[in-house]
Amino acid sequence: MGTGKTAAAQCLASRLGRPMVDTDAAVEARAGRTIARIFTEDGEAAFRELEAAAVAEAGALRGAVIATGGGVPLRRDNMRHLRRHGLIVALIASPEAILARVGGGAARPLLGGDPAMSVSRLLAERDAAYRDADLVLDTSGLSTEQVADRVLAFAEARSGAAPDGAARVVRVDLGERGYDVHVGRGLLARLPVLLREAGVTGRLALLTHPRLDARYGRALADALRAAGREVATVTVPPSESSKSLRAAGRVYDALVDAQLDRGAALLALGGGVVGDLGGFVAATFLRGIRWVSLPTTLLAQVDAAIGGKTAVNLPRGKNLVGTVHQPALVVADIDTLASLPRRELRSGMAEVIKTGVIGAPDPFEFLEANLRRVLARRAGELIHTIGRCAAYKAAVVSRDERESGERMVLNYGHTIGHGIEAAAGYRGLTHGEAVAVGMTLEARLAVRLGVCEPVLLDRQTALLAAAGLPVRLADLGRARPRGPATILAAMTHDKKARAGRLRFVLPASLGRTAVRDDVPPALLEEVLADG
C-alpha cells in the first residue's frame, strides 16, 4: 500500500493503449461496499476470498495492466493466475514514504493502532513474497512517470515466460554493466546476431572442452567466421583440474598467440568449469577483456553463468582465487542439454531445487508436479524452469552484486557442500551432488536449531531424492569423505568463513532463509556424523 500501484498502472495502461484493472476496485464493485467496510463487517478472511476471485478473473485477461492489493502475493494461487500472461512487478517504498502517502492510514484496515509499526511489520512479513517478483522497484523518490518509465524499460528487455517453449530474455540490471540472459532453443545459431546486439565486437577466443568443440564449437566458430568474425579456439580438459592457476596460464598463452587485444572478447562454451575459468581469464587478461557465457549444463544455465563470480581452485579449497567480472551476454541454448549425461542433468537439479527453497517457491512447486517432464528434457518445461531460476538469480545479483548482503542466500547448501567436495579431493562426485547433500544436512541443522519445521526438510529431501540426487553422505559411495573431521577441516578454509566462524544459510520456510554464524560446533559434528 502507498507505493503508487494504481497511479503507475493507470499511466502504463494509457501509454500502452491497454485496459487497466484494479483488483481492489473490482472487489468493492462486486461486494457493493468499501474494503474498509468489508474488513469491519466480515473480517480479513472474507476480503481475501473476494480478492482471490478478482485476481483469478483479472489473471485470465491478456494484454491488461493489473494493479493488485499489497497482500495478493501472499497466496501462491494468486501469483499463478497473474503469471499466466505477464510479468510481476513489486512496487515497494520506505516506511516513511508509505506513511506520508497514506496520510496516517485512517482508511487502511491493516494500519490500525500504530501505523508506523504496522507498516514496518507488513513489509517484514511480506518481504519474501515481494522478492519473488520479476522486478522489485523502490518508488520512494520516484514520480509516477518515472515508475512507468522503469517498468516499461524492464518489460521491453523481457519476453514471455509461459511453459510453451517460447524463448525468454532475463535482464541482469546493473546499470552500464547490465546484460541479458537468453534462454531458449537454437540460440547458438543466432550468436552472431546476439553478439552484435550486445555490442560485442573485435576478435574472439572460444574456450571449451574438446568434446564440446566437436559437437558445437566448430559449427559455432564457422558461423561466426561466416559473419566476418575472427575466432581462435582454445580447449581445456573437462575436469575440475582445469579450474587452476596452471590451466589459466595455458589459456593466457593461447590468447597471446592468437593476438587478442583489449577490444577482444572470450566466449566460454561449457559448464561451470569452463565458465569459471573463462570468466577468471577474461577478468585478468590485459587487466580485463569482455566475455560471453555460453552454458551447456543445467547447473550453469540456472546458476553459475549468471552473476559474474569467477574463480579457480587451490589445493586447499574451492574458488579461493577469483573476482567478480560480469559477462557481456549469457546465452543458454537448451538444445545443448540434449547431449548432457543424465547424471549431470540430475546434478543441475540441485541448484534448481535450491532456488525454490531460498526465494522462489513456484519453481519448487512446479518441479513437484513436473519433475519427470523436466528430466525428460521437454523444451517447454526446461525453458520455464531455467527462465524462472535465472530471473530469481538475476534479481538477487542486481540488488547485491558483490555478495555484501542478500546474495549470500545463494550459498544455501554450499557451506557443507564445498567442504564435502574439498574433502573428497574433487573426485568421484559432481558439484550438484555435493550441494544436494549439503542442503539436506544444512536443513537438518535448521530443524535442530528450531529455524524451520521438519515438514520443509521432508519435502526438500523427497524432491532431491526423486531427482536422483544423494541426500546422505553414505549415498556418495566411494566419494564419501572419511569422517566429519575431514569435512570440517575443509570447511574452515571456505571463503564463506569469517573470523574463524562458519556462516550458514538455513531455510526458515519455503522462500525464506536465516543466516547464522552461531551453529554450535558439537551440533555440526553430530549432524555430519549422522549424515
**Every domain of the chain and the residues it spans:** 5-156, 168-389, 412-530
- Whether the Cβ atoms of residue 47 and residue 24 lie closer than 8 Å to each other: no
Tell me the range of 47-51, 124-128, 324-328 where mean pLDDT is highest. Answer: 324-328
Could you identify the residue written with the cell 535448521? 446
147-184 tens-digit pLDDT: 888 888 777 665 433 444 567 888 888 888 999 999 99
pLDDT of residue 165: 57
pLDDT of residue 494: 62
For the annotated catalytic residues, the residue numbers are 287, 309, 351, 393, 403, 407, 411, 414, 418, 431
pLDDT band at 496 (very low <50, low <70, confident <90, very high): low
Tell me the range of 88-92, 149-153, 500-504 where mean pLDDT is highest. Answer: 88-92
- Whether the Cβ atoms of residue 134 and residue 87 lie closer than 8 Å to each other: yes
Angle, CA of 312, 315 and 316, to the nearest 5°: 105
Listed in sequence order, the residues at least 6 apart from 5 whose beta carbon sits closer than 8 Å to its beta carbon are 67, 68, 70, 91
CATH domain 5-156 topology:
Rossmann fold (3.40.50)
Kindly report the CATH number that applies to the domain delimited by 412-530.
1.20.1090.10
What span, in angstroms and rounded, lies between the C-alpha atoms of 151 and 181?
A: 18
284-343 tens-digit pLDDT: 999 999 999 999 999 999 999 999 999 999 887 778 899 999 999 999 999 999 999 999
Tell me what the mean pLDDT of segment 30-49 comes to.
90
Tell me what the mean pLDDT of segment 441-452 comes to.
96
Question: Taking Cα atoms as reference points, which of 234, 235, 231 lies closest to residue 191?
Answer: 231
pLDDT of residue 102: 72
What span, in angstroms and rounded, lies between the C-alpha atoms of 417 and 441?
A: 9
Please check whether the two domains, 5-156 and 168-389, share a CATH topology: yes
pLDDT band at 512 (very low <50, low <70, confident <90, very high): confident
- Whether the Cβ atoms of residue 260 and residue 285 lie closer than 8 Å to each other: yes
> In the predicted model, is pLDDT for residue 95 greater than 90?
no
Question: Taking Cα atoms as reference points, which of 354, 355, 506, 512 lies closest to residue 443?
Answer: 506
Tell me the range of 80-89, 232-241, 455-464, 490-499 where mean pLDDT is highest. Answer: 455-464
What span, in angstroms and rounded, lies between the C-alpha atoms of 102 and 93?
A: 12
Task: Compute the mean pLDDT over every residue in the chain, rounded to the nearest whole number.
Answer: 88
Tell me the range of 201-215, 308-322, 421-435 where mean pLDDT is highest. Answer: 201-215
CATH domain 168-389 topology:
Rossmann fold (3.40.50)
pLDDT of residue 115: 73
What span, in angstroms and rounded, lies between the C-alpha atoms of 503 and 40?
A: 46
pTM over 0.95: no
> In the predicted model, is pLDDT for residue 44 greater than 80?
yes
- Whether the Cβ atoms of residue 206 and residue 223 lie closer than 8 Å to each other: no
What span, in angstroms and rounded, lies between the C-alpha atoms of 55 and 315?
A: 55
